[in-house]
Chain A
Amino acid sequence: MFRSVTIGQHIPGDSIIHRLDPRTKILSALALIVLLFVIDGFVGYGLAALAIALVVRASKIPGRFVLRGIRPLMVILVLTLALHLFMTDGRVIFQFLFLKVTWEGLIRGLLMGTRLILLIIGTSMLTLTTSPMQLTDGIETLLRPGKRIGIPAHELAMMMTIALRFIPTLLEETEKIMKAQMARGADFQSGGLMQRAKSLIPLLVPLFVNAFRRADDLAIAMEARGYRGGEGRTKLRELQFQQHDRIALILVAAFSILMGLLF
């Protein structure tokens, strides 16, 4: 039932993008997000799209995987376009009853839509080419300087790792409990909204009870193996910036500053 669900959507590979340090990729993705909100106008977006296209190409990830990320956001995209289309004042292209479509609205709508699509594709390049483990590793290292102002970098990373690790387990458990309750005549599919929400109780209560039980077990197992939190903990594989990371970061920085200034 849940076998088809993939989390993290990481696609392993050996491209230059895959080999980049996760920190390089996280920083670049952040730069891209800022950039996409700073620039305005089709030329700027065109250039940004070109840059993203080059990265997608270099990652050797098939286009359909990249585009798949857009599908769940289709509703938001259409809504954004429609809202801008009808809600912006300006030169009217045509009018249908009280609905006016304006030039300005069309432009704004298209710009916002492009921005969203580029955001999704750009950031999905990060998650597609970086394994969840690398990602948490990168986040932990990047947050480490924040420790002085009270950001628990290691703990956050550990929580992310554990959460990711237990997603398949929880899905499996959900399936099991669903089957057991279905065997007792439970019906998760039919009925109105309230009825359906209510029918979830026999599923959610055991799921939570078991999750807490499992969390307890895990905590004890970790302590039994000497886990004492991040203090003084060393890594088997330290992240290391390579030559290509430096080049990539310089390129990203140069591109961002240039784009920010020009558009």
Chain B
Amino acid sequence: MSQAALRNVSLEIEDGELVGIIGPTGSGKSTLIQHFNGLLKPDSGKVFVDGVDLTLKDTQLRLIRQKVGMVFQYPEHQLFGETVLEDVGFGPRNIGLSDEDVIQRVREALAYVGLDFEAIKDKSPFELSGGQKRRVAIAGVLAMRPSVLVLDEPTAGLDPEGREEILAEISQLHNDGITVVLVTHSMEDIARLATRLIVMDRGTVALDGTPVEVFREVARLRELGLGVPEITELMHELKARGLDVRTDILTVPEAEEEIIRVMGWRK
């Protein structure tokens, strides 16, 4: 009766990668990432984090969840604290840290998401703006000092400025050595950020490679109801109209350079 949500998914994510997971709605993206910290366990198969098998009964999932931070969709819907300090400090307190350590962690986490600790710590999370709420919620996960951060559509429902800020913060975290897994619907965002792309389709991995490799499969992606970044689309269109440009281009500056090169213009 029941259908498997994931089948034959075999992946290895290395330290320091920034992996984008894309796929149509219902392709198993959210189910997949919930296996990364043991919120879901596979009916068959294994999940390892730093060599620890999450499917074993005696695995300390608490430790794993500390290591693998998970930011769900609309994380601001999970805010509960009377103050920002209390809410962001929830994770560190659950680990059993001292008050000083908790405050230190909160300060550090809020700095990461670009919020001023002194200005915001005593405010109620419910009186903040939408973008601020989201950043406080993300800080709540960062306060656990995870070495892997998994985010499910972190920019959904934000205005362009909020998006840019969140994406810049994610990029910063990645530069600081945190492994990031990012589920998204935005091809533009992922093309710029990811070092690797995984495309899911009906519970299996359809494509897996660098953004350039994946976005080369324009036909396949269209078939799945996914697109390629608009700028890549443009390059394909130019090629189709007879201009001999490269099509493995993901950002506007790259495209600019390429068009200038092909046309023989000078800057």
Contacts and interface: CB of A to CB of B under 8 A. Distances in A.
A205 B62 CA distance: 23
Contacts of A201: 80
A176 B95 CA distance: 21
A181 interface: yes
Contact of B144 (A181, A185, A209): A185
A35 to B, nearest CB: 42
Contacts of B62: 185, 187
B91 interface: yes
A129 to B, nearest CB: 25
Contacts of A145: none
Residue in B69, B79, B91, B94 with the greatest tally of chain A CB atoms within 10 Å:
B94
A180 B95 contact: no
A210 to B, nearest CB: 6
B79 A184 contact: no
A206 interface: yes
Contact of A206 (B66, B70, B78, B95): B78
A54 B237 CA distance: 74
Nearest to A187: B94
A237 B250 CA distance: 56
A186 B79 CA distance: 13
Interface string B101-139: 000000000000000000000000010000000000000
Contact of B80 (A176, A183, A185, A206): A206
A183 B37 contact: yes
B79 A183 contact: no
A179 interface: yes
Interface string A186-218: 110000000000000111011001100000000
Interface in A36-57: none
Contacts of B37: 183
Nearest to B143: A184
Contact of B95 (A179, A185, A203, A205): A185
A206 B77 contact: yes
A185 B92 CA distance: 8
B90 A177 contact: no
Nearest to A208: B80
Nearest to A180: B78
Contacts of B90: 181, 184-186, 202
Contacts of A186: 90, 94
Interface of A: 176-177, 179-187, 201-203, 205-206, 209-210
Q: Which 5 A-B pairs have CB atoms at the shortest separation, nearest pair first?
A: A185-B94, A205-B80, A184-B91, A183-B70, A180-B78
Given A176-B77, A185-B144, A187-B94, 15 more contacts: A176-B72, A179-B39, A180-B70, A180-B75, A181-B90, A183-B37, A183-B39, A183-B69, A183-B141, A184-B140, A185-B90, A186-B90, A187-B62, A202-B80, A206-B80
